Amino acid sequence: MEASMKPAISLPVALALSILPALAASLIGSAATLPNIPTWYMSLIKPSFTPPNWIFGPVWTLLYILMAIACYRVLRRESPTGHRWPIAAYLTQAFFNGAWSVAFFGLNSPVIGLVIIVPLWASIVWTMINFWSYDRFAGSVFVPYLAWVSFAIALNLGIWLLNP
Q: Contacts by 13-21 with C-beta closer than 8 Å and gap 24+?
A: 13/75, 14/71, 14/72, 14/75, 14/76, 15/72, 17/71, 17/75, 17/87, 17/90, 18/68, 18/69, 18/71, 18/72, 18/75, 19/68, 19/72, 21/71, 21/90, 21/91, 21/94, 21/95
* Domain assignments of the chain as residue spans, ordered by start: 11-42+51-162
Report whether pLDDT(111) > 50. yes
Whole-prediction pTM: 0.93
CATH assignment of 11-42+51-162, given 1.10.760.10, 3.30.930.10, 1.20.1260.100, 3.10.20.30? Answer: 1.20.1260.100
- Give residue 12's pLDDT band: very low, low, confident or very high (50, 70, 90): very high
Distance of alpha carbon 65 from alpha carbon 148, whole angstroms: 14
Summarised one tens digit per residue, pLDDT across range 28-40 is 999 999 999 999 9
Distance of alpha carbon 150 from alpha carbon 63, whole angstroms: 14
